[in-house]
Structure 1
Amino acid sequence: MLTIAQEIFDAIVAHAKRDHPDEACGVVAGPEGSDRPVRFIPMVNAAGSPTFYEFDSTELLQLYKDMDARDEEPVVVYHSHTATEAYPSRTDIGLASEPNAHYVLVSTRAHGNSGGPVEFRSYRIIDGVVTEEQVTIVPLTNPQQTEEASTP
């Protein structure tokens, strides 16, 4: 099960809507071994595509160095689908390389970047096996629990 603060949920959805019609992507880091997503890190979709996302390799390397220095790991890896449901594609499954991460997909197909709800779903993807999991959104109890990071 993914437990995520309302503010981080809102930030992921806002990023997906802002980048529509292109796919948005990013990471929510947390303390190693904690399974707590606390630091929202929006990334640039280097592919600039409505059907595919790709982390910029330089930006991704910097992110991993930064997480290592902070004793963090990627707790959530997210991206959006702009024209299809929030379910991992074959490409998404092939790219899933973090066995401890929650893979969040946000579908903006119904309302694009305008108001209206999105489809927000989370999966575990291990060795090509996709398992959907429940998402619980909780209020933020400690404002210092969440840091928003600009793109590294």
Structure 2
Amino acid sequence: MLTITQALYDEIVAHARADHPDEACGVVAGPAGTGRPERFIPMLNAARSPTFYEFDSTDLLKLYREMDDRDEEPVIVYHSHTATEAYPSRTDISYANEPDAHYVLVSTAECGNGEGPVSFRSFRIVDGEVTEEEVRVVTSYAA
């Protein structure tokens, strides 16, 4: 199960809406070994595409060095689908290379970049196998 704060949930959804009609993408980092998403890191979709996302390789290298320096790891890797359901595509599955990460997909197909309903779903993707998991949104993480 993915447990995420309302604030992080809102930031991911806002990014997905803001980048529509292109796919949005980013990472939520957390302290290594905790599995707790804490630091929201929106990334630029280098593909600037409504059907595909790609992290800029220079930005991604910089992000991984920064996470390493801060003793963090990618807890959530997220992106949006602008015209289809929030479910990993074959391409998404082939690019999933963080076996411990939660892969969050937000569909803005119904709302575009305006207010309205979105679909927010989380998956584990390991060795090409996709497993959906429950998403629990909390006010804050209990101590």
Say yes or no: does 1:42 pair with 2:18.
no
Q: List gaps (5 residues or longer) in structure 1.
A: 143-152
Aligned-pair identity (%): 73
Cα distance between partner residues in 2 of 1:33 and 1:131: 21
Shift of 1:141: 5.9
Counterparts of 1:3-152 in structure 2, within 5 Å, are: 3-140=3-140
Cα distance between partner residues in 2 of 1:93 and 1:141: 29
Cα distance between partner residues in 2 of 1:111 and 1:70: 36
Shift of 1:83: 0.2
Cα distance between partner residues in 1 of 2:62 and 2:141: 30
Residue number in structure 2 paired with 1:147 = none
SS at the partner of 2:116?
coil
TM-score normalized with structure 2 length: 0.98
SS at the partner of 2:64?
helix
Q: List gaps (5 residues or longer) in structure 2.
A: none
Cα distance between partner residues in 1 of 2:117 and 2:106: 10
CA RMSD of aligned residues (A): 0.9
SS at the partner of 1:106?
strand
Cα distance between partner residues in 1 of 2:75 and 2:115: 28
Number of residue-to-residue matches in the alignment: 142
Cα distance between partner residues in 1 of 2:43 and 2:67: 14
* Matching residue's letter, 1:33: G
Shift of 1:117: 1.5
TM-score normalized with structure 1 length: 0.92
Cα distance between partner residues in 2 of 1:90 and 1:70: 32
Cα distance between partner residues in 2 of 1:33 and 1:65: 17
Deviations, residues 72-129 of structure 1 (Å, cap 9, x unaligned): 0000000000000000000000000000000000000001001111000000000000
Deviations, residues 20-79 of structure 1 (Å, cap 9, x unaligned): 000000000001110000000000000000000000000000000000000000000000
Cα distance between partner residues in 2 of 1:139 and 1:116: 21
